[in-house]
């Protein structure tokens, strides 16, 4: 139980936990499920220590649910990092791109030479808005942060921060703050 709780705390506390943290959490989750069923079986089948085993089974469920829901109560560590620290760095890169907006076209192109970081692509849209993709969120190189200055992004029905472009409704983004979105692989 302690390993599971520590891995939950690491996922919540660090914006970019190592991949090993996910493996440890997965193994601890499997062990917790096994511990639950073993204690449930002992509590039902054996009269000696029945209450202790059933209480331990309930404790395992409480630890599992508490660990899983803690991230939703505390919030996403990467979003917290971005809003507290990262946004300043990213806004600086956006300002560099906008100052050289004439170099953007309707075709997405690499902006590494402008911003001084690899994995940055940008373009202008027909309405004059700017769209910049910053590839690599945490350990996910298929994910990216998106800066979008336009107003074509629509909110998914029933949500307040899940958005999409009308021409690509299956390509969803989570709104972080004004003009900033994160796209996670699907």
Q: How far is Cα 120 from Cα 124, in angstroms, rounded to an integer?
A: 14
| DSSP one-letter string for the chain | -HHHHHHHHHHHH-SS--HHHHHHHHHHHHHHHHHHHHHHHHHHH-STTHHHHHHHHHHHHHHHHHHHHHHHHH--HHHHHIIIIIHHHHHHHHHHHHHTGGG--SS-EE-HHHHTSSSEEEEE-TTS-EEEEEEEETTEEEEEEEEE-SS--EEPTT-SSEEEETTEEEEEEEEEETTEEEE---
- Report the pLDDT averaged over residues 23-41: 89
**Alpha-carbon distance 42 to 22, whole Å?**
30
What are the pLDDT digits (tens) for 108-151?
Answer: 999 999 998 888 899 998 888 898 988 875 544 556 788 888 88
Whether residue 1 contacts residue 123, with contact meaning beta carbons closer than 8 Å, is answered with no
Same-domain pairing of 102 and 141: yes
What pLDDT shows up at residue 166? 84
- Domain boundary at 75, 105, 130, which? 75
Tell whether 12 and 68 lie within a shared domain: yes
Q: How many domains does the chain have?
A: 2
Co-location of 34 and 96 in the same domain: no
Question: Do residues 163 and 71 both lie within one domain?
Answer: no
* Cβ(13)–Cβ(76) below 8 Å: no
Is 44 a residue whose pLDDT tops 80? yes
Does 154 share its domain with 95?
Answer: yes
Q: Which residue has the higher pLDDT, 177 or 138?
A: 177
Instruction: For the chain, give the percent of residues with pLDDT over 90.
Output: 14
Q: Which of 40, 75, 110 is the last residue of a domain?
A: 75
Residue 96's domain spans which residues? 78-183
On whether both 69 and 107 belong to a single domain, the answer is no
Residue 82 has pLDDT above 80, yes or no: no
| Same-domain check for residues 96 and 167 | yes
Say whether both 101 and 162 belong to one domain: yes
Q: Which of residues 27, 44, 75 is at a domain's end?
A: 75
Structure confidence at residue 137 (pLDDT): 59
Q: pLDDT band at 38, cuts 50/70/90?
A: very high
Q: 154 and 175: one domain?
A: yes
Question: Are 155 and 125 in a shared domain?
Answer: yes
Q: What is the largest CA-CA distance in the chain?
A: 79
Q: What is the mean pLDDT of residues 89-114?
A: 90
Regarding whether 97 and 47 lie in a shared domain, the answer is: no
Indicate whether 83 and 61 sit together in one domain: no
Taking only the tens place, the pLDDT of each residue in 153-170 is: 888 888 777 888 888 888
pTM: 0.59
């Amino acid at each position: 139980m302690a390993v599971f709780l520590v891995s939950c705390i690491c996922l919540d506390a660090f914006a970019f936990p190592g991949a090993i943290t996910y493996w440890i959490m997965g193994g601890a989750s499997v062990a917790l499920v096994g511990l639950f069923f073993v204690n449930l079986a002992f509590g039902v089948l054996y009269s000696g220590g029945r209450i202790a085993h059933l209480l331990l089974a309930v404790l395992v469920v409480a630890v599992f649910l508490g660990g899983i829901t803690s991230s939703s109560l505390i919030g996403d560590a990467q979003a917290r990092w971005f809003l507290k620290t990262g946004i300043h760095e990213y806004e600086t890169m956006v300002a560099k791109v906008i100052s050289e907006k004439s170099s953007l076209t309707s075709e997405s192109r690499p902006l590494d030479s402008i911003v001084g970081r690899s994995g940055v692509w940008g373009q202008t849209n027909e309405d004059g808005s700017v769209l910049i993709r910053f590839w690599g969120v945490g350990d996910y190189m298929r994910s990216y942060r998106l800066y979008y200055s336009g107003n074509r992004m629509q909110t998914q029905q029933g949500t307040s921060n899940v958005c999409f472009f009308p021409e690509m409704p299956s390509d969803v983004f989570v709104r972080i703050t004004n003009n900033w979105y994160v796209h996670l692989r699907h």
